[in-house]
Each structure stands twice: as C-alpha cells, then as structure tokens.
Amino acid sequence: MNFGPYVRRAREERLASGGAFSLRSLSGRLGIEHTYLSKIEREELPPPSEEVIVKLAAELGEDPDVLLALGGKVSRDLLEIIKTHPKAFALLLRELRGQPDTTIDRLARRVRDGKW
Amino acid sequence: MALELIENALVFSFPDVHPEAKVSIQFVRTLRIPDDESSYSLPPGLGTFPVRHVDDFSERVPMRWKEHGGVMLPMYQSEAMWLRFEPHAVAGHGGDPYPFAIKIATGKRSAVTGDEWSNDLRQGDYCIVPKQPWLDGYVIDKENVRQFVAATLGMGFTAEEQITGKAEVGGIQVEVMPMKREVFERRFPKREVKTSGILRSAMGMKHSLSSGPSYATMDSAIFGSAIGAPAPDMGLAAGGRMKQTVYADPYDFEDWDRSHHGRCFVHLANSLAWRAITQQEAPPTPVTAAEYTRHGFPWFEYYDDGRALEGTKTLQGLKSVMQLGFQKGFSILPENERPEFKSDQIIVLKHKSKDEVREGRWA
C-alpha cells in the first residue's frame, strides 16, 4: 500500500473509534494545512518531510520507520548508521532481501544471558 | 556490550569500548583423536555445529536452560569439538585485531585451570586472542591439551564430574573481556600493513566421508527412552592428548577492561534431545580419525612464540574417557583406531610476526 492511502485508512479507523482524527483536527496538531493533508492522502501531493512523517506516526500510533519507508524516506539516525559502514550495510540489506521476517528477527536479536 | 548469534557464531561486540572491538567464537566439528596416550597433531575443522537460541525453543527445553539463557548445540556421545576465536581486524591499525581475554569453562570449571567459575578474570585462567586462535581441550602441560569430547552428564565421564563429584551444570561457559581502549591504541598504533589469518580445515574433503553411524547408534542405545522426556544434558570430558600450547598473557593483567564483559551459556544437547527440541536432525558425525587419515587429508601443528601455560594439577589429574571407561567396565567410545600418517600429511603452521620476512622456494 502507498503512503497516502495507508495514512488515510489509519486516520479514518481512529476517527471511527471516536478520536479527534478529522482532517482539520489532525492537521492542526501536525502544524500543516488540512488541504495539504487531504491532498497527500489522495496522492495528489508526495509524502511530507521526515519531520512531519515522524509526528504523523506518533499521532496515529504507527511505527515511524514503517511510515518513513512507505514515504520513500530513511530516517536520519538510520542514515547515520549506514554512513559508518556503507558497503557492509548495503551488502547486508541485499543479503536480507527476500528473507522471511523470522530470519531477520533472529539476525537482529541478541543472545539472552540468564541466571547461572 | 552486545552478544549476537550470527551464522552459528557467538559475536561479542563492545561498541562502548571501541567501535571495532568485536570477536566471534565458533564451535567447530572435528575428528576425535585416539585416546591412547600418544600425543597427536591438531585435527582439521569440519564445519561448525549448528547453534540456536534457547529462547527460540523455550517450550521444549528444560527449565534450567531457560534460566541460563544463551544458546544450544547438538553433540553425539563421544563427539569432539574445538573452539575458534576470531577477533575482527581494526581499520587503520594495519589490520591488527582487537585483543580480548577469553575464559572457557565446561560445567563451570575452567578449561585452563580447572578452577570454579567466576565472572571476573583471574591470573592465568584465560586465553588471549588473537595469540590463541583455537582451543581444543583441557590444558595439561605446556605443550599438550586433552581433547574436548562430549559425554552425557551423570555417567561420570565429564571433567565437571571428575573435579566436583557432581553432575549439575554441563555445557560450556564463555566470557569475553576486551583490552582497554587506551592500552590498545598505545600498544597497536595506527599503521598501514595488513596481516592475514590462518586456515585449519580439510579443504576439498569429500562429503561421502561425512558420516558416522556408530555415534548415532551409541546415542540411541543410551537415550533410547529419552525422546519426549526432558533433554539429557551433555558435558565435556577429557579425550586423547593433542599437541597444543595455550599461551600465557603477554600483556599486563591491568590491560584488560574488566568493567566491560560479556558471557554466554552454551548448552549441549545429545542428538536425540536435539531432534526432540528442534524437530531437526543433528548433522552427521565426522569420519573416524583413521579413515580421514587413510584418505590423505591433512593434520596440523601450530607454533608461536611466547610463554605457555603449564596446566594445573587439577587438569593434569583428569582421567581420559578411555581410562575411565576401563575403570567403569564400559566404554562410550565407538572406536579408537590409531591413524597411520604419511610423512607429508602434517601441515606445520607458524604465526608470522607483523614484520617477519617470508623466505620462499629457491630451487
């Protein structure tokens, strides 16, 4: 699913649950015009800046990395990490392409130490 | 400190000490050398044991394993293992690997001294990496170890049971401490030269040799009734004698950053318990030492400069699996055939110092 429709569905679900998630209410909290948000949802305009996407994720209770990825952006902190070892991370990401979530989870997870 | 399991290796990293302070430890499958009091060369690496998170199988592992956390791997009764230590090279320091002090224990008894486990370093109870690339067994003197050989906990064969008289812990315990950053930067100043690692494997070994039904048969005979029951723990026992020096710490004891350390409990599951827990087969056992040697594959010897650890009376007093079997009136070894070596079958590896000049072939 693309960024605009994903945001629209998430917003309307929360609105239906009785929250203050009308276009006007939400855009007001984000500090943007409601017409701008409307056009983003309808894909008449591209996704907003990283800063607005992160705020939007917080308002909607969504994962910011997911919304950023849908918006074709990579968060600044991830970019900083990639810049430290660009070749290694590019290789890693390509290696992980197509792997199931369980494999990726396992790679990222640390070994737990317990009581000996 | 972070500890990850990556491609069957434990990877300890200490980004809060140095961004490239990282070392991986692998558990390597190998031949079991004959247990006959001769001292043998180093056997090859035949791939790594599969290692899994205990937490991935928390519904099927014993409660004690869950308490310990860590990882698990499968071993057959009397199968052998060695540990490979690989510190990561540090860019800008000529490829010098970051140094670590590594403690290895079995059944919470040090494989270097036989002393009881402690979370801190004690003088002489650890290996130094990269100086020590491998550890194959219990240190018994300056030039020899007794090979790590798997035995079921409770049968009286493991080093833990011989030393403590109890069968309570099993498994392998690992702890890693990095060198202090300021010491690393002083001892290994920035430079351009690169160094390379040392390979110890049976390159080109045919898969048809990787099978040993005798081990599996032995496990079935011993654990035939254990499927579905809590997994019997394995521990490590002292096998045959092998030529390996474990090097003493060439640095100062205070060079190690004891405020940063990582540890891991490695549980050993016998092959049938492994199948019950993971629903996967343990890898086929390696060939026998005699069969491997008949096919002309290499053995190894490794030399480096430096003071060697002498071993302690505790470890020197360990009885081998064969000796214990003779005392008990039954053996857990499926075979003990002595290999017949050809003169060119032993490859001598020597660690080169950074500035050493290599002499080639002249004629």
Which residue ranges make up each domain of chain B? 2-350
CB contact (8 A) between residue A115 and residue B67? yes
Q: Which among B70, B108, B117 is the nearest to A113, CB-wise?
A: B70
* pLDDT for residue B17 is more than 50: yes
Q: Please give, rounded to a whole number of angstroms, the shortest distance from the CA of A108 to a CA of chain B.
A: 8
Q: What is the pTM (predicted TM-score) of this model? A: 0.73
Domains of chain A (ranges, CATH numbers): 3-70 (1.10.260.40), 76-108 (no CATH)
User: What is the pLDDT at residue B230?
Assistant: 38
More confident residue, A83 or B209: A83
From chain B, pick out residues whose CB is under 8 angstroms from the CB of A113. Answer: 3, 69-70, 262-265
| A28-84 confidence digits (pLDDT tens) | 999 999 999 999 999 999 999 999 999 999 999 888 888 999 999 888 888 888 888
Q: What is the ipTM of this complex?
A: 0.70
CB contact (8 A) between residue B265 and residue A115? no
CB contact (8 A) between residue B70 and residue A107? no
SS3 readout for chain B:
CEEEEECCEEEEECCCCCCCCEEEEEEEEECCCCCCCCEECECCECCECCCEEHHHHCCCCCHHHHHHECEEEEECCCCEEEEEEEECECCCECCCECCEEEEEEECCEECCCCCECCCCCCCCCCEEECCCCEECEEECCCCEEEEEEEEECCCCCEHHHHHHCCCCCCCEEEEEEEECHHHHHHHCCCECCCCCCCCCECCCCCHHHCCCHHHHHHHHHHHCCCCCCCCCEEEEEEEEEEECCCECCCCCHHHECCCCCEEEEEEEEEHHHHHHHHCCCCCCCCCCHHHHHHCCCCEEEEECCCCECCCCHHHHCCCCHHHHHHHHCCCCCCCCCCCCCCCCCEEEEECCCCCCCCCCCCC
Q: Which of B22, B25, B55 to mutate to test the interface with A (most CBs of A within 10 A)?
A: B55
Place of tokens 């040799």: B209
Q: Model confidence at B224, in pLDDT bands (50, 70, 90)?
A: very low
User: What is the pLDDT at residue B351?
Assistant: 67
Q: Does A83 touch chain B (CB under 8 A)?
A: no
| B317-337 confidence digits (pLDDT tens) | 999 999 999 999 988 888 899
Start-to-end CA distance of chain B, whole Å, equals 52
